[in-house]
Amino acid sequence: MKLPDIKILDESHKILRTISKEVTFPLDKETKKIINDSLDYLEMSQIPEYSEKYDLRPGMGLSFVQLGIPKRIFVISEEIDEGKFNRYVVINPKIISKSEELIYVGEGEGCLSVNREVEGIVPRHARITVEAYDENGELFDIRVREDMAVAFQHEIDHLNGILFVDKIDKKNPYKNKDLMREI
């Protein structure tokens, strides 16, 4: 498998702080290619053989703004079995419901645009329902929980110019940890 030509911007790029624009349909060929290349890249980053060969940091989600394209599109590739993935293409997402319960990732969240260790926890809703469009312009609702809920919220934040590091209390990085459940 050949590594797609994907250039992920580092957190220092100002475009990551912009609010991405709504997408209109139908999608052009180039946008569809970027969606597929991004998913291939994410899957290769999660397969040890490729991540070692190409020196990739494993990632499961990528927003178009991280590629310098401020459109409201993100993709997630979730490994469900060794080498088998569920692919999500999420366009113009809106969170339409969320749980009261808050969770955080015990080992800390990561981001392909943040190339450093970050101490602290990011409060996230344990379950969310998102309304969005797929690459064919079909409206769908999806309810995600636990790690997938974290991934969806993380990517939606990107579309709004927010990085996960912004959600960590600088003075008290583990603030309210006892009020949330670790995953």
At 42-65, the pLDDT tens digits run 999 999 999 999 999 999 999 999
| pLDDT at residue number 56 | 95
The pLDDT assigned to 13 comes to 96
Task: Give the pLDDT of residue 83.
Answer: 85
Q: Tokens standing for 74?
A: 């993100």
pLDDT at 59: 96
Taking the C-alpha atoms of residue 168 and residue 121, their distance in angstroms, rounded to an integer, is 6
Domains of the chain, residue spans:
14-182
The dihedral formed by the CA atoms of 169, 161, 72 and 110, expressed in degrees to the nearest 10? -50
Q: Are 57 and 149 in contact (CB under 8 A)?
A: no
Reported in sequence order, the residue ranges of the chain that DSSP labels E, i.e. its strands, are 61-63, 73-81, 84-98, 102-104, 124-125, 127-133, 139-145, 181-182
Phi, psi (deg, nearest 5) at residue 111: -155, 135
- Taking alpha carbons only, the member of 165, 7, 162, 157 closest to residue 74 is 157
Q: Tell me which residues of the chain have a pLDDT lower than 70.
A: none
Task: Give the Cα separation of 136 and 35 in Å (integer).
Answer: 12
Q: Which of the following CATH numbers is that of domain 14-182: 3.40.50.920, 3.40.50.720, 3.90.45.10, 3.40.50.12780? A: 3.90.45.10
Active site residues: 155
